[in-house]
Each structure stands twice: as C-alpha cells, then as structure tokens.
Amino acid sequence: MKNLNDYPDLPEVAETGMTFEENARLKAETISKLTGKMVLADDSGLKVDALGGLPGVWSARFAGNDATDLENNAKLLHELAMVFDLKDRSAQFHTTLVVASPDKESLVIEADWPGYINFESKGENGFGYDPLFLVGETGKTSAELTMEEKNDQSHRAQAVQKLVEVFPTMAKQTIIVMSDSHGDRAIVEEIKTYYLGKVDAIFFIMVILSCQVMTKCGKEFTL
C-alpha cells in the first residue's frame, strides 16, 4: 500500500488554464510525469449562459481569490439581477476529467448537468453554488437534493459513469486522484461508488491542491 510519504515533493500545480480541460490536463499530466503513476484529475465549475459561460474556471474565486461560497453566490445573483425570466437564467455544472499516464495519450471526459440559476438560495446541502442551482425542470435546487439523489445525476456522476466504460482496462495500478478543494470528496465518492466491483484493487490518494494538503481518502479495495 502506498503511503503519502511516497510523494513528499509534489508541487502545487497552478490552475492557469483558460478552460476546464487545460486545468485538468495541467494537474494530471504534471503529477503523472513527476510520479510515474496514472493520475486522475478534474476541474469543475458553473457555466451561466447569460454571462457568456462565467464564472467557468473562475467559479471558486468569482468574487475574489479568497471568496466564500456566500460571496460567490451573492456576486452571481448581482450579475443576473436584470435577468428576470427563469428561462433566460440557464446554466450548467460542468466537469472535465483527465486521466494521464506516463508515455500515453491522456483520456479526456466531459459532462454537463443542466439547470437554471434561481432568484434566491434554497436548501442546506451541498456546497458552492448548489443553493442557487435549480436542477433541470424539477424546481429543486441542488442543495435540496439528498446526497444519493445528487450522486445519481450530477455532472461528476455523469463523468464518472462515462469513465467507467473505459477505465477498468486501465485501472489495475495505483491511481493518484486529484481534485479541487470543493470537489475532492465528491469525485472520490463517485469513483468509489462506480468502481467497486469493476477493478481488482484501487488506492485513492486525494491531493487538495488549493490548500497544498494531501489527505488519504481511501483504502485498498480487494474484491
């Protein structure tokens, strides 16, 4: 079993890309080259059509580098203050996954979760923009869904389902799972949910780049 001490010199990988794929590639391919391991990285965020796709890759820092979820939500509502019809407030939660392995072409998978931006926050679950994101035509925000309901339909769930179709043939080795500070737990839980029973053994190592902290978030699953 790999120990986190096996990776004491992993650098922080700055998300300098202008797209979700660029950021996910930066993380996955950089760490893959440094460690010689297969690396799964994601970059996720909210795209609002009326704002030309913003906040996009700047979702976590829409209201500033150190912005809280409340501040980001407040800025989003401010930006949409003159958009009065719900149908004009369409949006998508987006995830791009990149699987990188030394000397191999990276695998890129994308998924969107469509919905609308509500006029006020509702719900107590989730994080980020969940209290404002109305899921499809349900009338419920993401923050009003249970974890099980969210994991059945979210952008990350859809991306992981796509990944599962090709991943079992690649996955019989140590994997470094990287994600942003919000998405780390979600993406790992999705992977655990879908991969158990599909591969022989997987080690999950989560790298929370924004905090420069590494935390063991899984164990060896032997079937």
Which active-site residues does the annotation give? 43
Per-residue CA distances from 80 to 50, 73, 99, 113 (Å): 8, 11, 35, 20
Contact 97, 163 (CB under 8 A): yes
Cis peptide before 55 (omega within 30 of 0): yes
Per-residue CA distances from 159 to 14, 108, 110, 222, 223 (Å): 23, 10, 6, 24, 24
Residues in the chain: 223
Contact 72, 59 (CB under 8 A): yes
Query: Cα–Cα distance between 126 and 198 in angstroms, integer?
Result: 28
